[in-house]
Structure 1
Amino acid sequence: MFSLSLALYSGLLTSSMSSLSPYWFIVYFALIAGGKDPQNNDQSHQEHLSRLMNTLEQHHIRNEHITVFWADGESPEPDRKLPSTQKTSHYWVVEDTPWEDWFAKESLLANTRWEQVSVFPAKRSALRQWFKSISAKLKPNDSLVLAVTDHGRPDPKGAWQTSIELWGEALKVEELYQDLQLLPTQVSIQLWMSQCFSGGFARLSTMDSRVCGAFSSASNRPAYGCFTLPSAPSVEGHFLKFTEGLKQGGRLDQASRWAVEHDITPDTPHLSSDAFVRRIVRERSEALGIPEGHLIDAALPVLNQLSVEQQQIVKTITNTSLRFNLGLTHSYTRVSILNKQINELIYSLKAWHTQWKNLLYQAKLRLLKQAPIDAFTQKRKHRRRSQKKARLQRWINRALKRGKEGRRGLLKELHQKVSRAETLLDQLKTIEASLWRIGTLYAGLAAKDILTEHDYGLWRKMKSCEARSILQPHRNERQTRSRKRDNTQFATDFQSFNELQTEVESLRPGYIAFQYRERSRASRLEVRSLDYGSPLWAVDLQVGDLIESINRSALNYTGQVREMIALHPIGEWIKIKRRRDGKVRSIHIPVVGAPLSPPPPLKGEPIPPLSLDPILEDKKVDYLISGGRPTLLYFWSTWCQECLRVAPQIQAWAQAHDIQVLAITTEDPHLVRAVNHSSPLPFTIFHDRNREASRLFRADLQNHREAVFIYLDVERRFIERGIGLGQKGPKTIELLFDN
């Protein structure tokens, strides 16, 4: 999302300059494009501006009426980043690893020149100066369009005070409001904003009655699809779809509806009137204590009494539902139900994606550590990066063919899982955004009965502003739009909800419901605990057993079992060779789906009740946590030497700050008692029998290899999380007590 600023002056939107109408008025466009700095100002920004310039030329906007606010203006210094070259076929093998720098291309920068137009830097001072100079030309009933396609910043407080990234500076909502006061009072100001968190600027419509606008995203959401590169195909986001819609209809409201139907990125296109009515609905539902869906559905107009404007909104709802394969979306409540289901799928898929990505990362490191890196660099002290890259690339190609990653095809199989999860996640996010769009349209349908008389007047004024013409559609464009409206056929690439559910479930990793530790250089596994309720209680497997092979494959490296089980089909059985008391026996155990951890509590939220059993003392964990003292949950394991090493320091730090420490482990209680007898732990110990607490707080010691700490205040609220020991106490948590 870039920033470019273009100001243009045009005569009224008539098909012929010779036939003037009594409604003649002048439209100025200020298209703002700063880009932040050369490294962030992508080539796509120039492409967006070029497409818009072509559109303006097609609508008879003369070059002498255009002023561009672009990056650093006419400075000869580089102001944009050129697109990178095509990545090598196996770039994914080194991606996110320490060797990725060998394959990274140095950023090539270029200077942008615009012919036949005036160019100024995208700075607030330059924009203010232009506002002052243009004010003398503006007449009553003229329009000023501010079109922004840029990076954006969220409000640090999570509210509506977002900002636009100009060239080396940011422009906040309040600052733009102050600058707009330099313009005459009888001028209409229309915003067209495609940067992240652009919806915060919709608040300008309530601060200044002259202002209305169209936005790519809500104030708390990023914008997508703004990086269309000429070197590679990509999805077109809000700015280009809005430009396309503007050519079709010539008005903000029509262009925004076009973007709602045709933008297949997770953008959330909406108008200032939409943002206004959604805010009022949220405030009223909170005041009345009823769900927003009940409030909106009760105020929806009867179908046979819809106005022409409302009929167009209903058509947009229907078209959007068909475009994204949403099925029946006949009410706001139905949309809310679908939205909840989609968000649950997104949460599940993110969990599976994280697991697959961790496995892939470990597999890539294991492969690349076998590469003779020293041989690539030592022959020539200053070997160029391109030479090192070429030699490593050849080695990776040979290694993948020989199956050096541990098992032939393993790395590619994990990579396919990660890629499929990312593709599916993008689709789910887009569907969730489409439901947001439909919910916004339903709120607009119910506006008349929800808003007060005063608010309804403000809303109608915004709607009138949004319906002002910006460009006059050509005759052939109007005919094309009419044909599309009469003969619409929706071909969708989006799967139905049931298909999406099946796809997400197919990406669930396999899981064996027991905990283990690797011994003897990972050639054996020692069973440390069995999950309660797991099917392993029905087979001959016990705590302390040693596992020597799985499906006749010897255990050769750390993490091999996790990879094999994750990739094994769920519901099928695997054969393991286990050793007990010197005797070896083969048994079959089932692979189940990996459990889904509940969402972790947000900072400041109370934690749910914990199902923990005391091991050495008969104490209830919830009673201790609610005992009027802050609590430190200390997740540990008997095999984790680092966990045991830091225990005395944690005890001293906790006593100094009057904090009680509760030690939590997933291991078998008998084993914990035996270890604690020889090396007593100075804390009350609890058994997390179903690993619910460990999953809730993401405290998997097999991933972290050191203790995980959770700090709770006296009211059971989650405050902070830390992994490992800092200078005196738990990392991150100790910073809360610096003063």
Structure 2
Amino acid sequence: MSEILPSTIFQMPKFTSLHRFLSCFTSGILIGLQLPSLALHLSPIKSESEVIAQNNLNHPNFLVMGGGSSPCNNEIALEKNILYFQRVLQHFGYNPEDAGIFFANGNNGQTTVRYLDEQKLEQYKVPTIPSLDGSATRRNFQSWLEQSQNTNKSIFFYLTGHGGYNEKDPHNNSFDLWHRQRLTVKELATMLDRLPPQTSFVAMMAQCYSGSFANLIYQGGDPKNPIALQTRCGFFATIKELPSVGCTPEVNEADYRDYSSSFFAGLSGISRTGEKVTSADYNQDGKVSYAEAHAFAKIDDKTIDRPISTSEVWLRSKASEADIDVIFTLPFNQLLGMATPERRYVVNSLIKILNLDPGKSFGNNRINLSQDGEIKQLQQTYLIRLSMELIYIGMEQKIRNSQNRENIAILDRLINCEGGYWDRNHK
């Protein structure tokens, strides 16, 4: 994550076609887009391992990796993120001592956590995370995964730290571990490939360039490979090409604004400072899914981040330029009629924030907004988030109408995984 918000990230590039300011995404090779009402489709019969994985999805083992790679980038906000995560576990009735928690240098007593004192002077302190299992190293990570194979439970993995950008292959970015170690997408996916087929894996990763880890859904983490045997999905602070925000040495949590804070506030209903937040149960089924917490964060997170999930990256990869052009000509109200409850919440909220006309298309609203004067930085971020959401809605509709059973099965698998939740009745 980054403490600095580069002004260049906010600049809306000028292209002849509206969709091209989303240049940080990849394109697929689909032709045309037909968007009638949702077509009925037959879901494939689930294998025994998929049924077990779905049943265990809401009763996970918890694994947390956090901190920087050295004291100079091991900010106190990363430590406080884990403390908040432990409070969220307690809120759901889980015992934080049962979670595998690995942070920076671990328990060796060294002063490695960087913070600013009341005089804004840089200081260092010893990590003070209860039930800390050790340092955030590759060895500890791999050892925990190997031990979890015998539990027959799903895994919820939370990463709060720093990420690295791979200029040669952004599909294979990395996250930092202690002693300047790194773990790439492909390395992590290869570790997960060794898990039993019934072991589902849900990731929540809040580091720079984290969207690259959406490729964990593929065998070996390579988008050219088939989908992995295990059910996997994840939620990421931003797309694979951009840094994220939230790593700060400031100690006042009331000032923290980041995807991680918003996601867990949406999931639990309690902010990191202890206040109740508006319920994210958008489908009103009595529980908040990961996907709903993700939707909550898209509105609550008032930063430059572009939160994204595995299904969203997959849907975007299926969209051609022609598809996006069509989607951007459809009135908001028409697209909202196709959307799931959590997507309707995001789109309606952004329409209201940006003061857009729901009866017009994204393209027409974008032109009118430009004519009103200079678009502010946060407005630009909201516009991009809105355009992303519209593409997901349109492409899900197209996939479901395609009668391509393989693509529909992949989409259903990802959405079912992202629809998991923490069960309060887990005991």
Match for residue 350 of structure 2?
320
Deviation at residue 179 of structure 1 after TM alignment: 1.3
Query: Of the candidates 190, 210, 220, which is equivalent to residue 198 of structure 1?
Result: 210
What secondary structure does 1:221 align onto?
coil
Radius of gyration: which is bigger?
1
Match for residue 48 of structure 2?
none
What secondary structure does 2:161 align onto?
coil
Deviation at residue 59 of structure 1 after TM alignment: 1.4
Q: TM-score, normalised by structure 2?
A: 0.72
RMSD of aligned alpha carbons: 3.1
Amino acid at match of 1:113: T
Unmatched tracts of structure 2, length 5 or more: 3-53, 220-227, 270-280, 282-287
Amino acid at match of 1:211: R
Deviations 1:412-449 (A, max 9, x none): xxxxxxxxxxxxxxxx3322222222112111211244
Change (3 A) 1:215 1:63: closer
Spell out the pairing of 1:394-473 with structure 2 (5 A cutoff): 428-451=376-399, 452=402, 453=404, 454-472=406-424
Deviation at residue 465 of structure 1 after TM alignment: 0.5
Spell out the pairing of 1:229-628 with structure 2 (5 A cutoff): 229-231=250-252, 234-248=255-269, 249=281, 250-281=288-319, 284-285=320-321, 290=322, 292-295=324-327, 297=329, 302=334, 306=338, 310-323=340-353, 325-328=354-357, 330-334=360-364, 337=367, 345=374, 428-451=376-399, 452=402, 453=404, 454-472=406-424
Change (3 A) 1:292 1:305: closer
Q: Contact between 1:228 and 1:236, CA under 8 Å: does it hold in 2? A: no
1: CA distance, partners of 2:394 / 2:71: 46
Q: Contact between 1:235 and 1:264, CA under 8 Å: does it hold in 2? A: no
Deviation at residue 457 of structure 1 after TM alignment: 2.5
Q: Answer 1 or 2: higher relative contact order, Cα 8 Å, separation at least 6.
A: 2
Match for residue 276 of structure 2?
none
2: CA distance, partners of 1:226 / 1:108: 16
Deviations 1:564-615 (A, max 9, x none): xxxxxxxxxxxxxxxxxxxxxxxxxxxxxxxxxxxxxxxxxxxxxxxxxxxx
Deviation at residue 260 of structure 1 after TM alignment: 0.9
Deviation at residue 175 of structure 1 after TM alignment: 0.8
Amino acid at match of 1:431: Q
- Paired residues, number: 342
Deviations 1:634-689 (A, max 9, x none): xxxxxxxxxxxxxxxxxxxxxxxxxxxxxxxxxxxxxxxxxxxxxxxxxxxxxxxx
1: CA distance, partners of 2:424 / 2:342: 20
1:26 aligns to 2:41 (yes or no)? no
Match for residue 559 of structure 1?
none
1: CA distance, partners of 2:333 / 2:368: 22
Change (3 A) 1:319 1:472: farther
Q: Contact between 2:106 and 2:133, CA under 8 Å: does it hold in 1? A: yes
Query: Of the candidates 179, 188, 200, which is equivalent to residue 176 of structure 1?
Result: 188
Deviation at residue 124 of structure 1 after TM alignment: 1.2
Amino acid at match of 2:163: G
Q: Contact between 1:154 and 1:162, CA under 8 Å: does it hold in 2? A: yes
Q: Which has the higher strand share?
A: 1
Amino acid at match of 1:292: I
Q: Contact between 1:301 and 1:446, CA under 8 Å: does it hold in 2? A: no
Query: Of the candidates 197, 200, 204, which is equivalent to residue 188 of structure 1?
Result: 200
2: CA distance, partners of 1:434 / 1:304: 17
Q: Contact between 2:105 and 2:135, CA under 8 Å: does it hold in 1? A: yes
What secondary structure does 2:72 align onto?
coil
1: CA distance, partners of 2:253 / 2:92: 29
Change (3 A) 1:322 1:295: closer
Deviations 1:344-394 (A, max 9, x none): 947xxxxxxxxxxxxxxxxxxxxxxxxxxxxxxxxxxxxxxxxxxxxxxxx
Unmatched tracts of structure 1, length 5 or more: 3-21, 88-104, 347-427, 475-739
1: CA distance, partners of 2:333 / 2:75: 46
What secondary structure does 2:63 align onto?
strand
Amino acid at match of 1:68: I
Change (3 A) 1:335 1:169: farther
Deviation at residue 473 of structure 1 after TM alignment: 9.8
